[in-house]
Amino acid sequence: MRSHGSSLEALNRWVDDVARLTEPAAIHWCDGSDAEYAALVETMLASGDLLPLDPEKHPRSYLHRSSPSDVARVEHLTFVCTPEQEDAGPNNHWMAPAEAHAKIDALFAGAMRGRTMYVIPYCMGPIDSPIARCGVEITDSPYVVANMRIMTRMGAQALARIERDGVFVKGLHSTGDLDPERRFIMHFPEELSIKSIGSGYGGNALLGKKCHALRIASHQARREGWLAEHMLIVGIENPKGEKHYIAAAFPSACGKTNLAMLIPTEGYRQAGWKVWTVGDDICWMTPGEDGRLWAINPEAGYFGVAPGTSAKTNPSALATLGHDAIFTNVAVTADNRAWWEGLGEGEPATDWQGRAYDPANGPAAHPNARFTVSAKQCPSWAPESEAPTGVPISAIVFGGRRPSLVPLVFEAKDWAHGVLVGAAMGSETTAAATGAVGVLRRDSMAMKPFCGYNFADYFAHWLSFDKPGAKLPRIFHVNWFRKDDEGRFMWPGYGDNLRVLDWMIQRVEGLAKGTETPIGILPARDELNVEGLDMPPGALDELLRVDVEGWQEELSAIGLYLEGFGERMPERLKAERLRVSKALDAAVARPKASVA
């Protein structure tokens, strides 16, 4: 399916150049058809790259086991290669473009000998959406092709759009020899290109995902006046049938997928509330003619973490996995069903490496075991996910795992304050994770591993959307993870988080007054619906308490964090931090040292 037409000459030349460098045995241009996918699956079943799962429990679903040394993103081997190091910023590993090309091209030389080279044209976002952007990934991994077909709009339609647009992101990938010492993921934002070698793992190999949709797209977005963000998009429909769309950013292990697929509690369900899933991971937002931000989920599927997913924690995700899924590094039961820790049913017979399960070897499923599945299989999938215009965003939510200090919810005073709230967000480590409790890791907008340029410039780009005529979303911060003195979570979470989203929507609609505090606007007494919640006396007051002196220390720490990004840090953000700090100082000077 070699492409024709003048605007595709660059693509043809690039494919020829890559073939000369990598020396494949054959070249296959992917068309995205059902027949092509079926043939790929047969090829991988024959080679052992895929293993069939029980056809009754898992129709047309398969298991893939990756190399034990290749099971996660490798941030220390991930580089942003800009001509000037300052443009990549202290938030990225940097290498000069010429050095990076030379280093990785030496590894690509002959890397595809004896293999088929697949050319994958793909579109991130609905094919006809002006917000969508296209790319082409060249890979020697049929597993990558199969996953890209699920995760993107891939094949002939994407190639036709590339011909129309005349521009695409170039992604070159080879599994190489899977040697961790010969593994790199290089990004060249100025060239709109990515080169990845030595890994078959999703985030390193499915180049449409983090590499394109965040690192390269964040650079494109800055240049073109939009935002590429590590955010879910969820639609909340009230009993009157009105829908509000919320974009939310959380660091890992903070319930992102659970919120994207939130199931209302019984009371809200009976009252007529509905929740719609637009996206679980990535959000591209652009200003519309009406001044609002309109967003698409650039992905067509979910590449989700399996461990911990159960009928209790996320029944929608589990229902989504009923058929046509690819599981990576999960365990299997004796009757050949997928299994992972937290699933809550069955017993593992074989672990993720194919060994007979022995607890002495560690978890049965790898902690980063994954599933790939079409978004349309989700029971709460929103048909608006395919709308070329995207959906209008009413609110942006930031959140982190903070056992103390940070209230259940607060609203930023305005857009600049909201940018500060997003810049400052983070999570405290747990003893299980690091051996040190309470170490705060800041992860601005949950973009620390994914922003393709200097964070200081990124914050300035966010601030640039605040201009005359803009009808920007309100910005909130949530913390589902406050603990009491006994170390117990104070908020039930899961479906009950809709109570907090309900208050946000009331704020958006002007129906809730809220209470002004130095850190932002909190729910006024009785504004948060807690009907039917079994909470100890005083728990809600504690969840909504603002510890002014604690926040003074927090603002000082935020200042030091922002200074770490150097001279490019926008003065407006520094001034905003100072404003909040002074408001806290003034509150301390008043008789009460805490604000309810």
Catalytic residues: 254
pTM to 2 decimals?
Answer: 0.96
Position 415, amino acid = W
Q: What is the mean pLDDT of the chain?
A: 95
**pLDDT number for residue 433:** 41
**pLDDT number for residue 593:** 46
Asked whether the predicted pLDDT for residue 431 surpasses 60, the reply is: no
User: Taking the alpha carbons of 139, 252, 519, 236 in that order, is the dihedral positive or negative?
Assistant: positive
Q: What is the CATH number of domain 6-50+70-225?
A: 3.40.449.10
- Residue 210 annotated as binding site: yes
Domain with CATH 3.40.449.10 in the chain: 6-50+70-225
Q: Given pLDDT bands bounded at 50, 70 and 90, which one contains residue 7?
A: low
Asked whether the predicted pLDDT for residue 200 surpasses 90, the reply is: yes
State how far the alpha carbon of 395 is from the alpha carbons of 8, 288, 392, 399, in Å: 40, 15, 9, 13
Q: What is the DSSP letter of 377?
A: G
- Residue 561 annotated as binding site: no
Query: What are 227's strand-pairing partners?
Result: 285
Q: Given pLDDT bands bounded at 50, 70 and 90, which one contains residue 72?
A: confident
| Crossing angle between the packed helical segments 415-424 and 548-563, to the nearest 10 degrees | 80
**End-to-end Cα spacing for the chain:** 66
Query: What are 339's strand-pairing partners?
Result: 331
- Residue 422 annotated as binding site: no
Q: What is the CATH number of domain 232-268+281-296+385-595?
A: 3.90.228.20
Instruction: Report the candidate in 425, 516, 517 with the shortest Cα–Cα distance to residue 478.
Output: 425
- Residue 4 annotated as binding site: no
- Residue 253 annotated as binding site: yes
Asked whether the predicted pLDDT for residue 291 surpasses 90, the reply is: yes
Asked whether the predicted pLDDT for residue 592 surpasses 60, the reply is: no
Asked whether the predicted pLDDT for residue 437 surpasses 70, the reply is: no
Q: Given pLDDT bands bounded at 50, 70 and 90, which one contains residue 115?
A: very high
Domain with CATH 3.90.228.20 in the chain: 232-268+281-296+385-595
Helix or strand holding residue 589 (H, E): helix 571-589
CA distance 192 to 452: 11
Q: Given pLDDT bands bounded at 50, 70 and 90, which one contains residue 5?
A: low
More confident residue, 438 or 41: 41
- Residue 91 annotated as binding site: no
**Are the beta carbons of 434 and 419 closer than 8 angstroms?**
no
- Residue 230 annotated as binding site: yes
- Residue 257 annotated as binding site: yes
Q: Where are the beta strands (DSSP E) in 165-289?
A: 169-174, 184-188, 193-197, 227-229, 232-237, 243-249, 274-279, 283-287
User: What length does the chain have?
Assistant: 596
Structure-block tokens of residue 329: 């590094």
**Are the beta carbons of 408 and 482 closer than 8 angstroms?**
yes
Give the pLDDT confidence of 454-465 residue by residue, as tens digits.
999 999 999 999
CA distance 274 to 325: 26
Instruction: Report the candidate in 526, 527, 490 with the shortest Cα–Cα distance to residue 505.
Output: 527
Position 231, amino acid = M
**Residue showing tokens 């953000």:** 573
- Residue 255 annotated as binding site: yes
Q: Given pLDDT bands bounded at 50, 70 and 90, which one contains residue 434?
A: very low
Structure-block tokens of residue 179: 């040697």
- Residue 73 annotated as binding site: yes
Instruction: Report the candidate in 441, 368, 442, 448 with the shortest Cα–Cα distance to residue 93.
Output: 448
- Residue 324 annotated as binding site: no
- Residue 209 annotated as binding site: no
Q: What is the mean pLDDT of residues 349-368?
A: 97
- % pLDDT > 90, the chain: 91
**pLDDT number for residue 74:** 86
- Residue 203 annotated as binding site: yes
**pLDDT number for residue 71:** 86
State how far the alpha carbon of 164 is from the alpha carbons of 161, 193, 205, 280, 561, in Å: 5, 19, 27, 29, 44
Structure-block tokens of residue 587: 């509150």
- Residue 545 annotated as binding site: no
More confident residue, 435 or 382: 382
- Residue 254 annotated as binding site: yes
